[in-house]
Amino acid sequence: MPMPPTRLHRIARHTAACTALVILSTTALAAPEVSLNPPSGAASAAADPVSRFLLEKGLVGPVSEAIVPASNAFVERMRDKASDMVLTALNFLGVPYRRGGNSAAHGFDCSGFTRQVFETSLGLLLPRRADEQAHAPGLVAVQRSDLQPGDLVFFNTLRRTFSHVGIYLGDGKFIHAPRPGGEVRVEDMRFSYWARRFTGARRAEPALEQAAADEAAAPPSTLKAVQAVR
């Protein structure tokens, strides 16, 4: 008789199924937001946090990416912050849904999940409820056509605006804590259910800029100490 799947097995299957979409998310993260000089060659995908994570887990092989000029270091730091958010969110795949939950140990509801990811990756403490997060200071509204990995995406699932929230990954996919009996998972926003219920998106642009600026202004000794801790 086959053994029932354990939670680790479910997470492993879910992670494998998401590999392709994460690769596409990596492409979105690497896409330039400003005009850059033509690439002079190719670099290892290990330079990108998302690709490095996949490489370390043995889920993908090396992927080529454009070399970004050093003059765009600030832009790269902002991308790294967004990458950190995506990686943090993916680390919670398979955590069970729990109404009012806000930790991996006990489970998440939708807003508890996004709150945990933002606090862990950006140090930004969001309000507790989804509708409050949609109106939180420090977040800016984003058009659906301009979505980037790390953006909050909101849906009307309870007959009220901003009643559900998740985190955009790229390529039309988002990660969220769906409902009682479910677990943190990735879904496609283009499916009719989510497409009809999409009500807006928010980006922590000021927080990302401030985090990148703080990192750039930190003394070299401080940066070395932080890297040593990591």
**Is 23 part of a structural domain of the chain?**
yes
Q: Of 9, 14, 18, 176, which is the active-site residue?
A: 176
Please provide the average confidence, as pLDDT, over all residues in the chain: 74
Query: What percentage of the chain exceeds 70 in pLDDT?
Result: 55
Confidence band for 83, pLDDT divided at 50, 70 and 90: confident
User: Residue 14: pLDDT above 60?
Assistant: no
Which one of the listed residues 14, 106, 110, 135 is annotated catalytic? 110
pLDDT value at position 33? Answer: 39
* 229 part of a folded domain: no
Residue 224 lies in a domain: no
Is-catalytic flag, 176?
yes
pLDDT at 111 over 70: yes
pLDDT of residue 82: 77
- DSSP secondary structure letters along the chain: -PPPPPHHHHHHHHHHHHHHHHHHHHHHHHS-SS--PPP-SEE-GGGSHHHHHHHHTTSS----EEPPPGGGHHHHHHHHHHHHHHHHHHTTTTPBB-TT-EETTTEE-HHHHHHHHHHHHH-----SSHHHHHT-TT-EEE-GGG--TT-EEEE-SSSSTT-EEEEEEETTEEEE--STT-BSEEEETTSHHHHHHEEEEEE-HHHHHHHHHHHHHS-HHHHHHHHHH-
- pLDDT per residue over 113-122, tens digit each? 999 999 999 8
pLDDT in tens, 127-164: 999 999 999 998 999 999 999 999 999 999 999 999 99
Per-residue model confidence (pLDDT) at position 219: 65
Q: For the ranges 14-23, 24-33, 75-84, 181-190, which has the lowest average pLDDT?
A: 24-33
- Can 110 be counted among the known catalytic residues? yes
pLDDT in tens, 20-63: 444 444 444 444 333 334 344 334 444 455 555 545 544 444 44
Task: State the pLDDT at residue 66.
Answer: 37
With respect to residue 20, please indicate whether it lies within any of the assigned structural domains: yes
What CATH number is associated with residue 176?
Answer: 3.90.1720.10
Residue 126, in any domain of the structure: yes
One domain for residues 74 and 59: yes
Instruction: Say if residue 179's pLDDT is above 90.
Output: yes
Q: Give the per-residue pLDDT at 78.
A: 61
Q: Does residue 225 form part of some domain?
A: no
Both 123 and 149 in one domain: the answer is: yes
pLDDT at 215: 62
In a domain, 184, yes or no: yes
Domain that holds residue 110: 92-204
If asked whether residues 20 and 96 sit together in one domain, one would say no
Instruction: Give yes or no: residues 103 and 43 share one domain.
Output: no
pLDDT at 214: 64
pLDDT greater than 50 at residue 100 = yes
Residues 100 and 185 in one domain: yes
Given 9, 14, 18, 164, which residue is catalytic? 164
**Total domains, the chain:** 2
Tell whether 211 is covered by a domain.
no
Question: Could you tell me if 109 and 15 lie in one domain?
Answer: no
**135 is known as an active-site residue:** no
Share of the chain above pLDDT 90, in %: 48
